[in-house]
Amino acid sequence: GAVVSQHPSWVICKSGTSVKIECRSLDFQATTMFWYRQFPKQSLMLMATSNEGSKATYEQGVEKDKFLINHASLTLSTLTVTSAHPEDSSFYICSARNSNQPQHFGDGTRLSIL
């Protein structure tokens, strides 16, 4: 149980385009979802926390206009990287949890901006 699906797993696009990443909890209701970014050989850095039906809470230094997060239902959250540039290339990972249960992670999305 506790499966989190993340899509797409890999995307390459041109500089200036916007990219949407989906995170779905398949067999539980995710009251909270988290978005992380990970550069090669580095740790997972929390970008934002989203609660269903509320605005996301962004970590310090993360541009909310650059990384748009929507958590419209208890099973789906989306991260949109707007006007992506090469420096946005990274591994983006979502996680989800129900109430105070442990977080379950998606398989990640590798984003490459050319």
Partner 1 sequence: GQSLEQPSEVTAVEGAIVQINCTYQTSGFYGLSWYQQHDGGAPTFLSYNALDGLEETGRFSSFLSRSDSYGYLLLQELQMKDSASYFCAVTQGGKLIFGQGTELSVKP
Q: Which residues bind partner 1 (CB under 8 A)?
A: 6, 32, 34, 41-46, 49, 91, 93, 95, 100, 102-108, 110
Tokens at residue 96, please? 């989800």
Minimum distance from residue 25 beta carbon to partner 1 (Å): 14
Calculate the alpha carbon distances from 76 to 10, 24, 79, 85, 112 in Å: 19, 5, 10, 26, 23
Shortest Å distance, C-beta 1 to partner 1: 13
Distance in Å, CB of 54 to partner 1, minimum:
13
DSSP 39-69: -TTS--EEEEEEETTSPPEEPTT--TTTEEE
The residue (of 22 and 82) whose beta carbon lies closer to partner 1 is 22
From the CB of 87, what's the least distance to partner 1, in Å? Answer: 20
Which lies closer to partner 1 via its Cβ, residue 28 or residue 91?
91
